[in-house]
Structure 1
Amino acid sequence: MRRIFQFLLLLVVLALAGIGAFWWWSDQPLSLTAEKVEMAVPPGASLRTAARKAVDGGVRAPADLLYAYFRIANSLANDQTRTIKPGDYEVTRGMTPRALLDKLNRGDRIVLALTLVEGWNFRQVRDALAKADYLRPDTRDMSPDDIMKALGKPGVHPEGRFFPDTYNYAKNSSDLAVLRQSMQLMDKRLEAAWEARAPGLPLKSADEALVLASIVEKETGQAADRPEIAGVFINRLKIGMRLQTDPSVIYGLGEKFDGNLRRADLTTDTPWNTYTRVGLPPTPISMPGRASLIAAVQPAATRSLYFVARGDGSSHFSGSLDEHNRAVNKYQRGSK
């Protein structure tokens, strides 16, 4: 009887030692085949699959041992939300089994970034999406109309509808998801700007403010000039004067523009030619940033109707055509 007791005691000691060793192992750095390795967890993957994917990716550990730890640790947590999330993960030198499981449960996936730049047009946005690393090109064969329909805005022109910012995305995410983030942020920024608009503006809607902001974005060489530039265009709209802004003409030329805006281009009518047509063009011509949105709805109180680039990024503003012509001679033609 005594021997049986001793034998059972030995089993208990060994079991406790095994459990202790198991939990000790869970806090020890994993051995990897490189400084950092990647593992891909498919949607709906089980804990066993996740453990196997870790080993396949370069984690040097028995897959069954990893699986056992994953299963026991998640069971002991007694948390229904504690489930592994699909995606691509990075395992780095020094990471423990416990840290790896926490990462999988949090969904702390590999994150990349894409920057959409102020002043870009939609064609440039699509080019950036196509060149982004590990971004699934779901919109590659879609027309602009199809893209806007997929984003829940059928019939809306895509130009200017996306906010210029840096967007983080998980590896192998859809480019449509990035566009949705950007569109929602522009909706939010535009709504906030429109709510803060100054009284008496000759703008009928937030969409018109967006069009004006896109022009201000393309015309501004120095940030401090934005409100004054917006004020010039607001003054022109109030008196029915043509906006005569070169960037809108260039936008109307599309891919035919070769970098040289000719006099003939200014007289060739398109919906975006603000030399031949009065008022705002029918759509934005670029992605305006927040500063341009604010400038469009809170323009400077100015009497200026003209401006010309000084050559250093800033602009000279004039209230009369004679003064403007003198400024053009000085800054553009080099005469006094």
Structure 2
Amino acid sequence: MTPSSSPSPQLTATGAPRAGGAGTIAGRTVSRIGYGAMQLERLRTDRDAAIALLRRVVELGVDHVDTAQFYGDGFVNGLIRDAFRPEDGVVVVSKVGADPDPGGAIPLRPAQRPEELRASVEDNLRALGLGQIPVVNLRRLDTGPGLRAEGDQMVDLDDQLAVMTALRDEGKIGAIGLSSVTLDGLRRALPAGIACVQNHYSLVSRDDEEMLRLCVDERIAWIPFFPLGGAFPGLPKVSGDPAASAAAEALGCTPSQVGLAWLLHHAPNMLLIPGTADAGHLEENVAAGRIELDEATLTTLNAVTTHSASGLTLGERS
């Protein structure tokens, strides 16, 4: 899974056109449409189908895959280890900040303390079979939908960045990203060198527009989770928005594809990681990268009313 040189920035290491064109994360060229692997857990009873789906990811020109050890308690990382080959040039991005809790009401628990972050990186390395993870996102619990820290899990960002920087210096991770971070938190973290930000963001939920613009200025990749909204109750869905539906009808595509295409048009540092366990849905997501939105359509979509999700604490679904 170590990236290799591709013939052209527009082609992956296997020679396939990069899905959505070429983007950059941590100095590496990747497809702007990547793949979020969380939903692979749905294929736990059909491992062959899961491996085949990941091979299809490569065939479709996707070479940026997002994962975490807490996705299926290591199951998803094991699939990634077995499905991808070094010559595929896939850049694997993982995250830390939570651990599996299979018996809990939510199958995750916060793991924010520095020693837990280090242990999680080690767990990811073992499960993925890697000597270095290209990028690891520190999943803060400050904002956005998901878990919240309490008690000894309320850890200062500087203490967390210290261990992440040490892991980078040791060569165990290539670069540091942040997830569910506030604007102030990102500003504090900039001196540590931040490769990407993963926050909740979509056509219908744009709380972090100012942070996105800071990332554009700092050349930090912006990688929205829930890029189509609606991951659990309380979040609006792109598919339910009238403007997205009207644009989809005019373009002969789906509202979800319009939502993904809008994100790619909205900012040059935008990288997408839509997830699915279905090959047909995967192909639809990749096809969104070929949709052109004219100025009139963009103006209409830019005017869509957005909804905040910062107060939702129903559980981690990214």
| Structure of larger gyration radius | 1
TM-score by length of 1: 0.21
TM-score by length of 2: 0.22
Q: Which has the higher helix share?
A: 1
Structure with the bigger RCO (C-alpha within 8 Å, sep 6+) is: 2
